[in-house]
Amino acid sequence: MSLKQRCHVPSVDLTLDYGRMGADDAFFARLEPLLAKAYPAMAALEKGAIANPDENRRVGHYWLRAPKLAPDGLGAAIEKSVADIKRFAAENRARFPEVLVVGIGGSALGPQLVADALGDPRHIHFLDNTDPDGVARVLGSLDLAKTLTIVISKSGGTPETRNGMLLAKAAGVDFAKRGVAVTMPGSSLDKEAQGWLARFPMFDWIGGRTSELSVVGLLPAAMQGVDVDALLAGAAACDEATRRPVTAENPAALMALMWHHAASKTMVVLPYKDRLLLFSRYLQQLIMESLGKDGHGLAVYGNKGSTDQHAYVQQLRDGTNDFFATFIRVLEDGGAPLEVEPGVTAGDYLHGFLLGTRAALAEKGRASMMITVRRVDARTMGALIALFERAVGYYASLIGVNAYHQPGVEAGKKAAAKILELQKKLLAGGKPAPEEVEHAELILEHLAANKRGTP
């Protein structure tokens, strides 16, 4: 069955093998009508339809790698942003051997993925939380005089990013000489960054989890010498293949169908390549923030092969059957071709572990699919990002959710704001309301641990 249930995309040398997911002809016959509705919905999205009604916004991440598709003259702005990024990187890479990115969510996860896969992670650093201890550890390891600091926030008001920026400034970052802002024109960060080394505009129609191929991800990548043109070209080629309304030839549509077939099971991402270690973290936001709504969702976790075999594969094979696996197979080994035993290299072992784990799971009736790529390079990374972005869009259409807003995230932010208002009240000598007593006790415990207290 697996030999028949394969989809190959020659333009990016990517193959999806979904033969071990257990979908039969009856399943395809039942779901194809739903998918037939998803194709025109995706076409309307690419033409500029309102996709985020909560904020009355279009969603245009597909235009980033195909500017000619962008409506209303936006293509020229996209092309200018890429040209500006490449020019800035060419002029400043030698000056700044270290890069510090201050951002959270999509402003960190995408750049972290690409840095680990394609760049040199020893020379790019991230402040992606509001943990003062974590911030101090990162800043303490840097020569700030040789570091370019990139602050990324669409609104400029994201608390974690703002706090990271303030702590970096207090530690000695000279933003006028070595600071770059990536934000919406007119935002609080845009105003703060007047006089910084550079400012790059973010597009309102790009959400955080689909921003890696915008200035958000391309600027840090270019500063590391990553081929941003190849990233965009790989994504464009994958987009071209995955917008085709021929399901058997569309790997993103097939992935969406397999996710639907797996029902509420968890997806375990198993890339057999160290460079793809962070792929599961990146996919957690892309998939779970997009699809986790209205009682639906697809949980994602993962590590890397063959490390996973010494951790949780035991449960995958012999524990609860509540998941499906997505293996990522990379054909070219890279590294040293040394034979560790006659006729066998370290890469042969890695490939053997992948195929062996896949077979061991199949023996116990565990579902899996496998994505095969030639190598991990910029073109491949662009294609993988685009593949999963499109699959998320198709799957959202199948289950009837809006993939492009995040009401749960906003609810958490509002709740946190209330906590901080309560803390201010307590510090001013006020008393908590009855429903605030539990939170008040926890706030006071935290303040006391840090030798801060109420008057």
**CA-CA-CA-CA torsion sign (202, 207, 212, 217):** positive
CA distance 337 to 344: 9
Strands 14-20 and 367-373: what pairing? antiparallel
Nearest to 384 by CA among 269, 264, 303, 244: 269
- Is the CB of residue 353 less than 8 Å from the CB of residue 6? no
Tell me 454's DSSP state: -
Does the annotation count 289 as an active-site position?
A: yes
Break the chain down into helix, strand, coil percent, rounded to 5: 55, 15, 30
Output phi, psi for 384, to 5 deg: -65, -40
From the candidates 4, 310, 414, 424, give the one annotated as an active-site residue.
310
What 3 state SS string does 200-261 have?
EECCCCCCHHHCCCCHHHHHHHHHCCCCHHHHHHHHHHHHHHHCCCCHHHCHHHHHHHHHHH
Strands 266-271 and 198-201: what pairing? unpaired
Does the annotation count 451 as an active-site position?
A: no
Give the distance between the most distant pair of CA atoms in the chain: 76
From the candidates 46, 160, 289, 389, give the one annotated as an active-site residue.
289
CA distance 108 to 105: 6
From the candidates 37, 80, 191, 413, give the one annotated as an active-site residue.
413
Q: How buried is residue 60: exposed, middle or buried, by Cβ count under 10 Å (0-12/13-18/19+)?
A: buried
CA distance 201 to 408: 27
Does the annotation count 310 as an active-site position?
A: yes
CA distance 401 to 288: 12
Active site residues: 289, 310, 413
